[in-house]
């Protein structure tokens, strides 16, 4: 099983500031990586797939980068609706796994 590790567990950021979230895979997954956002009481929402492609309707302030084992999600200027938990997930094989999540909270 490929283990996905996200850091930090919690990120305190002020509105308007930049947030950088990391995700590491225990073995290479190519670009087969997705990012999701989950707000309390809601189901996850797809943000990024293919490591760097924004899903339909996702604002340009969200960007993804990386390949292999190291990935980054950047939110260029945090809006109030962006404070939530973010998960990375690989789909490189038949057993997808998720990272433990990064909670982005208001500083």
The contact set with another protein (CB under 8 A) reads: 32, 34, 36, 42-46, 49-50, 55, 87, 89, 91-101
Q: Are 48 and 88 in contact (CB under 8 A)?
A: no
Q: How far is the CB of 97 from another protein (least distance, A)?
A: 7
What is the C-alpha to C-alpha distance for residues 102 and 5, in angstroms, rounded to an integer?
Answer: 10
Q: Are 4 and 92 in contact (CB under 8 A)?
A: no
Q: How far is the CB of 28 from another protein (least distance, A)?
A: 14
Q: How far is the CB of 77 from another protein (least distance, A)?
A: 25
Please, which residue, 68 or 101, has the CB nearer to another protein?
101
What is the C-alpha to C-alpha distance for residues 27 and 38, in angstroms, rounded to an integer?
Answer: 25
What is the C-alpha to C-alpha distance for residues 40 and 103, in angstroms, rounded to an integer?
Answer: 11
Please, which residue, 45 or 61, has the CB nearer to another protein?
45
Please, which residue, 68 or 100, has the CB nearer to another protein?
100
């Amino acid at each position: 099983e490929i283990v996905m590790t996200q850091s930090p567990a919690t990120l305190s950021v002020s509105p308007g500031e930049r947030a950088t979230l990391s995700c590491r895979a225990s073995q290479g997954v190519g670009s087969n990586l997705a990012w999701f956002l989950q707000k309390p009481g809601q189901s996850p929402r797809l943000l990024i797939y293919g490591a760097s492609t924004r899903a339909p309707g996702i604002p340009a302030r969200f960007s993804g980068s990386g390949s292999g084992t190291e990935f980054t999600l950047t939110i260029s200027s945090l809006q109030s609706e962006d404070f939530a938990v973010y998960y990375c997930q690989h789909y490189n094989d038949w057993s997808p796994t998720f990272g433990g999540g990064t909670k982005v909270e208001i500083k």
